Amino acid sequence: MPSTPVAAGRQSERDRSLGVRLATYNVLLGGGGRWPEIERVVRAIDADVLALQEVDQREPVERLGEALGYRVLYGPAPSPRHQAVLSRLPVLSFTNHRDPAVFLRNSLEVWVRLSGPGGEAALGLHTVHLTAAFQRRGRAEPERLRELAAVRAQVARTPNRNQVVLGDFNSLAPGDPVRASDFFAQINQWRRTGALREAGALGPVPPGLSRLRWWEEQAPLAPPEDLPEAVRTGLPHLPWMVHPVLEFLPRGEVTDAVLAALLPRAALQSMLEAGYVDCLRALHPRSDGFTCPTYQPAVRIDYVLATRELARALRRCQVVSGSGELGRLARRASDHFPVLAEFSLEPERGLGTVPEWSGGAS
């Protein structure tokens, strides 16, 4: 039949393609006592290359790499909250961009080699952990824009089409929804049970205010000691005067829309305008895709962004969350869900342009 050679040809093309699984994961404040859960999440993701944020010590990351068969590229930042890249693929180049005049933290640039029967290809990863400071709203956005401009310059210095920028952007994409009112309702519930005070996320309350009716603690719905470590360490440090406002904040879509309009989005907009493709949105344009916080998902701030050329090879992108066992495990492991993306690259006769190994510092 005439369709048989065509089908066989397509199968042959798939056989020659070079598949790769990339992921990004913020493990929260150095991982704490959650490394067993983090290891199980990373094992389940089974990424070829994994970018980690907030890995504050090298030793647990090295143990993770040894247990799961990864080479560890650890990049200290000039300020707390370091980064690492774990790779099962051959590493061609590694640079730790850590100029404190540019980055609050740093950006790791790692090039890996993919190979198969049809040839080989090089793939470049640029990790980010951008300035957070949500309490400063738009005043922190220029810092994120500066950091991303530097990362785009890194990409431009190597004229290779297979490059991704991934990590914790601490910023929202244009058009993305938020579920802030549910998040604040949960925060208020924990405040009333005393969980916030236990977690150190509540500033001192003036004695007069603490006796007001609305501040009185109710019967605990969940004892503070029963809250997972990822919740207790990941709760935001809100000033005490915010809580009276949150107590009366209406819960619902209208409130979410108003709060969403107040959040800055220029950082992600700058990447989209520069031609980068938001991998999750490319495949799931209407999905919430919330990545943080895991205990009450409200925003999407973790991304895999691909160059336009590489985005043509995108096959899958998802937030590793949900109601299954892996989702429950991810909620205990960190306040961020991992993001996983899969690509199927066309093999080439050579690796193309790849930067030289810098010795891990720049």
Q: Which domain, by its residues, includes 229? A: 180-258
pLDDT tens-place string over residues 174-203: 999 999 889 888 887 777 766 665 444 545
Task: Domain count for the chain, please give it.
Answer: 2
Residues 38 and 96 grouped into a single domain: yes
Does 357 fall in a domain? no
Can you give the CATH number for the domain in which 171 is found? 3.60.10.10
Residues 143 and 193 grouped into a single domain: no
Q: What is the pLDDT of residue 218?
A: 45
pLDDT over 90 percentage in the chain: 61
Task: Classify the C-alpha dihedral 135-129-334-33 as positive or negative.
Answer: negative
Distance from C-alpha of 324 to C-alpha of 332, rounded to nearest angstrom: 13
Does 325 fall in a domain? yes
Q: b/e per residue, 188-202, with b = 16+ CB within 10 A? A: bbbbbbebbbbbebb
Residues 124 and 20 grouped into a single domain: yes
Choose one of 258, 284, 307: the last residue of a domain: 258
335 and 11 in contact (C-beta within 8 Å)? no
Choose one of 233, 258, 283: the last residue of a domain: 258
Residues 21 and 135 grouped into a single domain: yes
Residues 171 and 246 grouped into a single domain: no
Identify residue 83 by its one-letter amino acid code: Q
What sections of 47-194 are H helices per DSSP? 58-68, 141-157, 180-193
Residues 244 and 277 grouped into a single domain: no
Residues 208 and 321 grouped into a single domain: no
Does 361 fall in a domain? no
- CA-CA distances (angstroms) from residue 167 to 37, 76, 326, 338? 20, 16, 20, 9
pLDDT tens-place string over residues 253-309: 988 898 888 888 999 999 999 999 999 999 999 999 999 999 999 999 999 999 999
Residues 213 and 248 grouped into a single domain: yes
Which pLDDT band holds residue 353 (cuts at 50, 70, 90)? confident
Distance from C-alpha of 313 to C-alpha of 17, rounded to nearest angstrom: 10
Tokens of 213: 């009716």
- For 8, residues 6+ apart whose C-beta sits below 8 A from its C-beta are none
Does 362 fall in a domain? no
Flag whether pLDDT at 77 surpasses 50.
Answer: yes
Does 166 fall in a domain? yes
Residues 161 and 98 grouped into a single domain: yes
Residues 163 and 287 grouped into a single domain: yes
pLDDT tens-place string over residues 126-153: 999 999 865 455 568 899 999 999 999 9
Does 356 fall in a domain? no
- Bond from prior residue into 236 cis (ω within 30 degrees of 0): no
